[in-house]
Structures are given as structure tokens and as C-alpha cells.
Chain A
Amino acid sequence: MGSQGGFGQSKEFLDLIKSIGEARSKAEEDRIVLHEIETLKRRIIEPDIPKRKMKEYIIRLVYIEMLGHDAAFGYIHAVKMTHDDSLLLKRTGYLAVTLFLNEDHDLIILIVNTIQKDLKSDNFLVVCAALNAVCRLINEETIPAVLPQVVELLGHSKEAVRKKAVMALHRFYQRSPSSVSHLVSNFRKRLCDNDPGVMGATLCPLFDLVSVDVSSYKDLVVSFVSILKQVAERRLPKAYDYHQMPAPFIQIKLLKILALLGNGDKQASGQMYTVVGDIMRKADTTSNIGNAILYECICCVSSIFPNTKLLEAAADAISKFLKSDSHNLKYMGIDALGRLIKISPDIAEQHQLAVIDCLEDPDDTLKRKTFELLYKMTKSSNVEVIVDRMIEYMININDNHYKTDIASRCVELAEQFAPSNHWFIQTMNKVFEHAGDLVNIKVAHNLMRLIAEGFGEDDDTADSQLRSSAVDSYLRIIGEPKLPSAFLQVICWVLGEYGTADGKYSASYITGKLCDVAEAHSTDDTVKAYAVTALMKIYSLEIAAGRQVDMLPECQSLIEDLCASSSTDLQQRAYELQAIIRLDAQALENILPLDASCEDIEVDKGLSFLNSYVQQSLENGAQPYIPESARSGVLNMSNLRSHDQQETSGHALRFEAYELPKPTMPTSRPATIMPSTELVPVPEPSYTREIHQTPAVPSISHSGSAELKLRLDGVQKKWGKPTYSSPVQSTSNSDFQKTVNGAAQPDATGSTKQKARDVSHDIKKQEVEIPSEKQRLAASLFGGVSRSEKRQTAAGNRGAPKANSGATESPHMTKVATSSEPSTVKTAPVQPPPDLLDFGESTATSDAPSTDPFKQLEGLVDVTQDGSAANSGSVATKASDFMSLYSERPGNVPSNLIDPSIDVNMSSGLLNASNNFDHGAGVVAQSPQSANKGPNLKDALQKDALVRQMGVTPTNQNPNLFRDLLG
């Protein structure tokens, strides 16, 4: 092998690796490793081991630990090795401890002294090794021990040391910002370092600092801009060039910092426009790193104060990304689109087909990113399509983490934008059915609350419609097996509360269903509890309404069973039920009033109704009550306890003088008895009965309602007809929709779309005409391609001023605007839709007569096809360009293709990778680059041949690494 690549290890180590490589099973491998551990345990404690041997043992320990086995017995030897004078051993020791130990390990204290000593060493490599260890091993408590030395090293003569000292200081800042807050100015100083490496390293801490506190670094904008300018103009040493780009990594870091500094700051942003524009113009879109810079520019442009020209350039760059064949670039394009969309929402419609393509791409990463984008651009007109898509995807994945994520997004979108009650209930059913156990239980409580509270303050009919549609759908779904527990809880609660409300279903029918649920899920106590309480509510409602109640036999036996249940909660509920149904109608009306789950309950925390009783007792000579905190004995106790706690927490080592003891605070005690806020409320002792107007049953929506509230307020008002009066934000959306889509094309748009979608779903099953399906999807997502052509010019004109006005406050503002802001819209509802994300059929279709909606749809599809044809045309010309370039490529390029045998030789893969980004654009790059890299390539081929001569060409079956090698 190569000069330095020689395997300078002993035969034993080679044997170990070889046998592990050849192990056929995990068990065999484990056996070998355990044997090795035994050997090492024995050997490592032998006296007088030569240092060279010891070093190898440590390396072997590291190897073993890398394979996932515990090597703790050797940690102390690694620590000892750091004390060694020899650089090699010392470095090995440091390497091992940084890999073995965490910063709170007990052995660290043994190393701190060595580190202190090494930081002062004359040999700069020793200092570097120590600094590496500092970055990894020093925790908050030990920072003061090394801080002075590290600060001193910032002025070291070697740039390698300065760099690492900057990093160490940065690490201290990350671990405990307060410990180095007085040293932050050092970073500013190092920014002016002569060595570009040090300057580049300083950008990392500065990025962190700026992101925490933007305002105090505004003065650096000029410096950053000038550095970036110099970098872009190739003033840095050639060594920092990477694929013909001048110091790309430094450029990227600088752009990130500028994005933070220019955020919402017109003046600061003004200074950046020129340089960012230059970089974007000059960006080399054929290389990976060039695109990385371009992407960073887009991020920067979308973060700083908007500039029309730059936004246009960014939009162009995004369309290049999206049109690329590389999944990486598409991913970046989607991400960038999501950023830019906040500022100029019109841009999305130009790319709708590309976005749909990404959504249907087999690449999961890309798909998820696209869902993220869709999530950002959801509004009431496209929520149905988007949420449907999300649910469809959610059903098909196994990744629970992501499933949870996407489920909660669906819920959020549905709550925010639901076009109708029916759709909302259906959507929630689907989400709960497939991910019910994954979503936060609060979502379920939220749903119950929504159903209970209804949507409009005055519109009772809509509320009862919602409830009966919920009851209907739940009764339909309840028999299905394997429903998640959270969903069943919702079902039981809703059935109990509203099952008989509209008189459609008889009490015995509902109770029968509830009994079935309780029986089918006999292992789930929570569901059973919900079911029993629902039964209780239904019976008492019946009695209160003056009807005769006959308990079903299965219900009776269920209750009897539960009276003997091992769960005390269930027992309590069962007994309560039995007691309550014996009461008369008058009492029940008070205990369980109809539809009162959202009424406020007055809780008399002061228990004032007992005052007369207390008064009487006192007059009779009873002792007055002394609060617990006022009792002297208790006070001492709590003092003592908190003192104790302080002692234990301060047990670790200290490096500075003891501070003065702080005055101790007496711990305050919770006041009086609070109403239970448990999910499944624990039955209260009987004397608090009066507090509860309704029994402590799963009407969870009141308990802990503070946290459950989430975004409910905005939600309910968002919905339904614009008739009811409600605060600004609620109506504005629907109002505005009305004015835009107008009387000319009344609610037809909504319903036709829905119909069309339903139809299209059916079609999908029958015929496989994907493109038109795709376009229809695009139309429903983006409101039709038709206008993209027409409005492109308008969009450009309108985009700019709007963006300018929009971003004055903050970028978040724009996001908010999409959902709730448009108070401006309300004041002047006639003006064109400033709703940022709406590219619905506003201007184009508003004056169209209300013709047959299907005809309109046809027209829409037609135009779409036109649009796509144009698109594909341009792609085709591009493609032919690629092809011509491809044919011009020098013949020697595809070195890999010549020899298809598996190249262990990484360099061929490497060169290949550096030239070639497996995507179309990369091919263009290859022709000029391969010419430059000619000699290299030859080298690689030679090396390749050499390696093969050596016989080191293991096959893909890696365990046999050595078969060829050993002959």
C-alpha cells in the first residue's frame, strides 16, 4: 500500500480484525470480541508493558467500543496514557479519552491537570491535542480551570493553535454562555486574523452569537460584507479554492450571518444587496458547491429586507433547482421555495407541476419536504386536497415519529381551514383511525371540546348539525376492530353527550353500542370508564326528560361486573351510575344538565359556604386554624430541607472560592384543595361534591382547559358561513373569499372542485391517465395553471410592492398574515386579494358568467395542458443541449465504466463523485472539468491498477476482505 497507509499494527490486531471481518453471524462476532476483551483485561494489568504495546491495547479498546462493546475497564489506562511525554502516546491517549468519556465522567478530573500542563507546552502539536480534548471533555465546572490558558492561546503564533483556541472558546460559550461572556470581544478581534483559516473558524462562534443577539452585532455588517466581497473576488489564497470556487464554505457561513443581520433591517440589508447579487450572478450552477452557495443566497435574500431584483434572481434560481434532475437540487429547491413563498407567494404557482412531481417522487425525503411546503401554503381553498394527500401518505408509512408529526399537522390544518363541519369530522375520523394512538391526547380532548362548543355563538342549528353528523359517523365506525383508544374515548364521550340529542337514535340503541365498546375493549380501562360515564349520562338524560328507562340486560351485567372491577376508578363509576339512576328527574337535571360540558363551573375555593359553620364552632370554643406555613415547626423543617438540597447539588469540585450562602426561601405550599385535573379524574371525597355541578367524569374539556385551549379561539370562528358576527379575523377570510370569488361564481367553485376531485378519484381507479390527473391536482392545489401565464407579469409587478410593505415588520408577520391578519382586507374588501397565498381564480374568472361548472373545469384543464406543453418544450431544448455536451466528453472519463469490478479503490469513486453529480446539470460540468482533472484521473487509474495488482480487491461481500490479501 501507499507510503503512509501501511498497517502499522501488530499481527494480533490484524488477526482480530480479520476474524471479525469473516464472522458469519453477529453471535460469532460477539464471541470473538468477548474473547478479545478477556485477553485485553488480562494483559493490560500486567506490569511493565512496553509503551508501544500499551498504545496498541488502547487502540484495540477503541476498536472494541466502536463495535458496541463496553471497554470501561480500560478507561483508566487511556487516562494514564495522556500523561505520557511521547507525542504519539499522548495523542493516542487523548483520542481514546475523547471517544470514551463524557464530560461528566469521574475520570475527567484526572485529566484536567494534564490538559492544563499541555496547554502551556512548547510543542504546538501537544497544545493542539490538548485543545481538541478541551473541546470535548471540559464541562461547565472545569471551564475556569483552563479558560486563562485558552484565552492566551488566541494570540499564539501558529494559526493552527489560534484556530483551535477559537473553537475551544466557542465550545465553552455553548456549554455555559455566562462563563465566557466577558471574552466575546475576542471573537471580533480574531475576525481580523491574517490567516483565512482562523477567520473562517471565527465565523462559527459569531454565527451563534449573532443568532442569539442580533442587535449588538449590527456594526459588523460592513466587515462581513467586505470579507464576503473579498472572498468572492478571489482574494484568498488558492488553497481555499474548492472546485474552482473561492472559499465556498466561508462564503456560506458569511451568507448565513448576513441573513440574520439583515432580517427586517432595511439599512443593513441595503449594504448587502450588491455583494449578494454579484454572488448570485456569478454562481456556478454546474457544481454542487456552486449550488450550495446559490441556495444560501436564496435563504439570505428571503431573510433580509426584500429587494425586487434579488427576489427575481432567487426565483430564477429556484426554478433551475426544481427543473434539475438531481433529487438533491429538487430538495433544495422545494426548501428554498418554502422560504421565498413567505415573501412572494406568487412564485409557487409557476412551479406547481414541479411541486406535484416532487410529491409523487419515490424519494421519501423529497416527499416529506414537499409536504412541509404544502403545509406552509395551505389555505381554505386547497385544504381539502392537501389534507387528503397528507392522510393518504400518513396511512402508508411506518415511521411513527413522522406519522405523529404529520397527523398533528393534519389536525392543525383541519381545525384552521375546514370548509365544512362534515368534512372536518370525516377528516378527524380518518386521522384518529390511523394514528389515534400517536397523536397527543390533547388533540382528542380538543376535538371533544370543539364538538361541544360548536362553531358559532349564535348559530345553534349549525352546532347541532355538526353534532349529529359526528354521532352518525361514530355510530357507523364504532363497530370496526382495532380502533385506537384515544378515538374510542372521543366516540364514547360524544355518544354519551349527544347520542340521543337529536332524537334520531333511541337511548337503548346508543347504550347497546356503548356496552359493545366496553366489552370489546375489556383491557382498556380508560375506554371502559368513558363508556360507563356515557351510559350514565344517557340514562340520566332520559330520566330527566321524564321517560321510562329500562336498562338493557347486557348493560346491567356490565355494570355488575365493573362493581367488582380491580380498578377503583371503574368501580366508583359503576356505583355512581347505580346510585344516580335511582334519583328523581329534578335532581338529575341539576346533576347532569343537557349539553353543559362547556359551561363554566364556579368553584368556591375559599369554601365560604362553610363560614357559618366555622363561626359556630369557634363560638363553641374550637381552636382557630393556623395555616401550615405559619406553624413554626414546619417552617424550620422546610428551611432545613432546602438547605440540604443546596448542599447536595454543590457537591462537585470547585475551582473558585466559596460564595456567600444565599438566603433560603421557605417553600410555599399549595393553597387549598384544588379540583382534580387528572385526565381520568380521581373521584373526589364526598364533601367536595357540591363543587362539582357535573360529576367528575370524562368531561375532560373543562379540567385543565387552560392548556387544552390551543388555537381553538381562532378556529371555530374561521368556519362556516360569514353570517354570524365575530371578531375581525374570523370573518375577514370568508368575507374576502366572497368578494373575490364573488357572486359571479358563487360557492360553485368550492363544490365543483370537490366534485371534480371525487370524480377524479374514481377515474384514477379506472384509467391510468396520470398527467391530466396531475394537472387537476395542480389546479386544485394552486387554483389552476391557467392564470399562471396571464398573471406572471402582473405577479411580478404586484409582488414587489406587496412584499415591501409586508416585510417591514418581520418575516413571521407574513406567515401570520396568511391565516389571520387581513384586517386590511376587511376595510377595503374590493381591492385585489392581498391574501398572500391566494392564487385562486380571482381576476381571471371573476367576471365569467356562472356557467356550467364542469365546462369551466374543462377549460381549465385545457389551458393547463398548454402550459405544460410549453414547459416541456423548454425542457426538451435543454435536454438536447445536455446531450450534445455529453457526446463531446473526452473518452477517458468514465473510468468506472471500464472496469465494473467493485472498486475498493475509493479514489476512483471519489474522482468520479467530484466531477459528476449524477444529475443532468452535472454532465454539463463534466466536459470542462474533466479536462482539468486529466492527470489526476490518470493517476487514479494507475493507482487502481496498482491496488489490483496487490490483490486487494475484496468483493462486495466484505467479510472476506482478506481472502485475496492473504492468498
Chain B
Amino acid sequence: MIRAVIVMNDQGKPRLLKFYHYQPVEKQHEIIRTIYGVLCSRADNVSNFVNAESIFGPDARLVYKTFATLYFVFVFDASENELAILDLMQVFVETLDKCFSNVCELDIVFNFNKVHTILDEIIVGGQVLETSSSEVVKAVDEISRLEKASNSIMRVPKSISAWQGR
């Protein structure tokens, strides 16, 4: 099963944390620091895999990939396939891209609740639930549509340009 999904930027600042086994806050932070240390020390043209046994216990593997300024990190055990996880990551990012139409780090920072929604459509309880990015987009769109409909008190969010104009 998948044990954790972590998105952090190239400064080691977490942007999304999802642990499928509960970890206390301090432990989460320690894990991030360790992983960041490992990732930083890796050269450019090496494999995307890291043995994570010292961080997550026996049989844990870690796959990471950099997209622009972000590290995407998946931690999982022997029941998954490293190369496939690399592509699952791809599905995740493709979905993010479709949902935010051209995703960047800022989108993830400000809408991490939505990112969580997307991730929850792909992975549930540490198992890969859905691997078709268009299916995920459909589900997420429906959620946001209904959320808006069900919530008339919510004002339409101010657009960034309006806010910037002040």
C-alpha cells in the first residue's frame, strides 16, 4: 500500500502532506526534513527511487520526481511497482494540471484543500482507487459544482486580479 504522499518545494517546505498511517505532527516534520535531506543530496541524472527503510521501516520505498519547483514524493511498500508509481504521480500531476488549468506551486499552496480532494479521488486508504485522470477530473468537477450550489451563502471568491487592484 501507499504510506504517504508528500509534496514539498525545493526549499523543503511542505505543500501537501498525506499520511495513510497516522503520524504525529512532530514525526511528520522530522520525516519531511529527513526526506528533504536525502533528495537534496541526490544528483540530477540518477534514478527516481530511494530506499526509505531507515525512515519508514522495513520494505519501504520512496519514489520522487521534480516538477518545476516542487518535489512529489510517494512512499509505499512492496505491493506496488516503482515504475508504476512514477506514472501514478504523473496521473496526479496531470489531473492537477487539468483542474487548475496550468498548475503552479501557488495553486497548490492556496488550494491545498482542493488538492486533497483530487488526491482522495486517486488514492483512498493507501490503495490506488482510480487511475484515469479524466475520471478524476470529472469527479472533482462535480464536487466543486455541487459545493457551490449547496452553498449560497458563500460569496463568489474574489478573483486575484480584483484583490491585486486594491
Interface residues of A in 61-117 (CB under 8 A from B): 62-63, 65-70, 86-89, 91-92, 95, 99, 101-103
Chain A positions within 8 Å of B103 at CB level: 5, 906-907
- In the complex where A91-B147, A288-B87 touch, is A331 in contact with B128 (Cβ < 8 A)? no
Contact A292 B70, beta carbon cutoff 8 Å? no
Asked if B97 and A249 sit within 8 Å, CB to CB, the answer is no
Chain B hits for A909, CB < 8 A: 66-68
A51 and B153: CB pair below 8 A?
yes
Report how far A123 CA is from B24 CA in the complex, Å.
33
Interface size on B, residues (CB 8 A): 95
Q: Is A163 an interface residue (CB 8 A)?
A: yes
Contacts of A831 in B (CB 8 A): none
In the bound complex, do residue A904 and residue B105 qualify as a contact, i.e. CB atoms below 8 Å apart? yes
The answer to whether B131 touches A240 (Cβ under 8 A) is: yes
Pick out which of these stretches binds chain B: A492-500, A503-511, A956-964.
Answer: A956-964
Q: Is the CB of A242 within 8 A of B131?
A: yes
Q: Which of B32-51 contact A (CB under 8 A)?
A: 32, 42-43, 45-51
Give the chain A neighbours of B144 by CB distance below 8 A. Answer: 4
For B81, the chain A residues whose CB sits under 8 A away are 252, 256, 292, 295-296
Q: How far is the CA of A913 from the CA of B124 in the complex (A)?
A: 25
Checking A66, A204, A361 against B14 with a beta-carbon cut-off of 8 angstroms, the contacting residue is: A66
Q: Is A952 a contact partner of B84 (Cβ separation < 8 A)?
A: no
Q: What CA separation (Å) do A442 and B100 show in the bound complex?
A: 57
> Which residues of B in the span 4-27 have a Cβ within 8 Å of any Cβ on A?
9-11, 13-18, 20, 22, 24-26
Q: Determine the chain B residues whose CB is within 8 A of the CB of A253 once the complex forms.
A: 128
Residues of A within 8 A of B94 (CB): 910, 914
Q: Which residue of B42, B79, B143, B157 contacts A125 across the interface (Cβ within 8 Å)?
A: B143
Residues of A within 8 A of B142 (CB): 125
Q: Whole-angstrom distance between the alpha carbons of A197 and B69 in the complex? A: 32
CA distance A956 to B130 in the complex (A): 33
Query: Which residues from chain B contact A2 at a C-beta distance below 8 Å?
Result: 100-102
A399, B38: Cα distance in complex, Å = 11
- Chain B residues contacting A365 (CB-CB under 8 Å) are 46-47, 49-51
Asked if A7 and B84 sit within 8 Å, CB to CB, the answer is no
A958 touches B105 (CB 8 A): yes
Chain A residues closer than 8 Å to B20, beta-carbon distance: 136
Q: How far is the CA of A723 from the CA of B122 in the complex (A)?
A: 64
> Could you tell me the dominant secondary structure of chain A's interface residues?
helix
The smallest beta-carbon distance between A430 and chain B, in angstroms, is 23
Q: Is the CB of A87 within 8 A of B147?
A: yes
Contact call B83/A332, Cβ cutoff below 8 A? yes
- The answer on a CB contact under 8 Å between A5 and B163 is no
* Contact A197-B83, Cβ < 8 Å, known A17-B109, A330-B47: no
For A259-295 the 0/1 string (1 means CB < 8 A from B) is: 0000000000000000000000000000011011001
Judge whether A200 and B93 touch: CB under 8 Å: no
**Residues of B contacting A401 with CB < 8 Å?**
53-54
Residues of B within 8 A of A68 (CB): 14, 25-26, 28-29, 32
CB-nearest residue of chain B to A201: B129
Interface 0/1 of B70-114, CB less than 8 Å to A = 100000000101111011101101101101111111110111111
Residues of B within 8 A of A967 (CB): 164
For the complex, give the distance between the alpha carbons of A372 and B99 in Å: 42
With A62-B112, A167-B127 already in contact, the answer to whether A207 and B132 are too (CB < 8 A) is no
A402 close to B (CB within 8 Å) = yes
Closest A residue to B100 using CB positions: A5
A830 at the interface (CB under 8 A from B): no
**Pair B134/A363 contact, Cβ less than 8 Å:** no
Contact A5 B54 (CB under 8 A): no
Interchain CB contact (< 8 A) of B150 among A67, A88, A243, A331:
A88
When chains A and B are docked, how far (Å) is the Cα of A295 from the Cα of B29?
A: 34
> Considering the chains assembled together, what is the distance between the CA atoms of A125 and B157 in angstroms?
22
B128 touches A7 (CB 8 A): no
Tell whether, in the assembled complex, residue A87 and residue B146 are in contact, meaning their CB atoms are under 8 Å apart.
yes
The answer for the CA separation of A248 and B142 in the assembled complex, in Å, is 26
Chain A residue with Cβ nearest B163: A11
- Interface: A473 (CB within 8 A): no
CB pair A965 B164 closer than 8 Å: yes
Which residues does chain B contribute within 8 Å of A103, judged by CB atoms? 22
Residues of A within 8 A of B102 (CB): 1-2, 5, 905-907, 940, 943-944, 946-947
Cα–Cα distance between A362 and B44 once the two chains are bound (Å): 11
Query: What residues of chain B lie closer than 8 Å to A163, measured between beta carbons?
Result: 124, 129-130
Q: Does B59 contact A (CB under 8 A)?
A: no
Q: Are B9 and A958 in contact (CB under 8 A)?
A: yes
Q: Which residues of B contact A89 (CB under 8 A)?
A: 151
From A123, A197, A364, B146 is in contact (CB under 8 Å) with A123
CA distance A944 to B49 in the complex (A): 30
A475 within 8 A of B: no
Is the CB–CB distance between A8 and B157 below 8 Å?
yes
A706 at the interface (CB under 8 A from B): no
Taking a contact as CB atoms closer than 8 A, the residue among B67, B69, B88, B127 that contacts A910 in the complex is: B67
Least CB distance, B89 to chain A, in whole angstroms: 9
Establish whether residues A904 and B86, one from each chain, have CB atoms under 8 Å apart when the complex forms: no
Interface status of A170 (Cβ within 8 A of chain B): yes
| List of B residues within 8 angstroms of A728 by Cβ | none
**Would you call B113 and A59 a contact (CB within 8 A)?**
yes
State A295–B1 Cα separation when bound (angstroms).
Answer: 18
A 362-410 contacts with B by CB, 8 A: 362-366, 368, 399-402, 405
B114 contacts across to A, CB distance below 8 A? 4
Give A50 to B154 CA distance when docked, in angstroms.
10
B87 and A70 within 8 A (CB): no
Asked if A874 is an interface residue, CB under 8 A from chain B, the answer is no
Instruction: Please give, as numbers and ranges, the residues of chain A lying within 8 Å of B46 by CB-CB distance.
Output: 327, 361-366
Give me the interface of B with A, judged by CB distance under 8 Å. 1, 9-11, 13-18, 20, 22, 24-26, 28-29, 32, 42-43, 45-51, 53-54, 65-70, 79, 81-84, 86-88, 90-91, 93-94, 96-97, 99-107, 109-114, 116-117, 120, 124-125, 127-132, 134-135, 139, 142-144, 146-148, 150-151, 153-155, 157-160, 163-164
Residue contacts A-B, CB under 8 angstroms, 24 given: A6-B157, A7-B110, A9-B157, A62-B113, A87-B146, A88-B151, A160-B139, A163-B124, A201-B130, A242-B131, A289-B83, A289-B87, A328-B47, A365-B51, A366-B46, A402-B54, A902-B69, A904-B68, A905-B104, A906-B97, A910-B90, A913-B65, A913-B67, A914-B90
- Please report A residues at the B interface, Cβ cutoff 8 Å: 1-9, 11, 13-14, 17, 50-52, 59, 62-63, 65-70, 86-89, 91-92, 95, 99, 101-103, 123, 125, 131-132, 135-136, 160, 163-164, 167-168, 170-171, 174, 197, 200-201, 204-205, 207-208, 211, 239-240, 242-243, 247-250, 252-253, 256, 288-289, 291-292, 295-296, 326-328, 330-332, 361-366, 368, 399-402, 405, 902-907, 909-910, 913-914, 918, 940, 943-944, 946-947, 952, 954, 956, 958-959, 961, 965-967
Q: A5-B101, A87-B150 are in contact. List 13 more A-B contacts (CB 8 A).
A: A5-B100, A7-B157, A59-B113, A68-B14, A132-B120, A135-B124, A136-B20, A170-B125, A204-B129, A250-B131, A289-B83, A363-B46, A904-B105
Closest 6 CB pairs of A and B: A8-B157, A2-B101, A401-B54, A102-B22, A292-B83, A327-B47
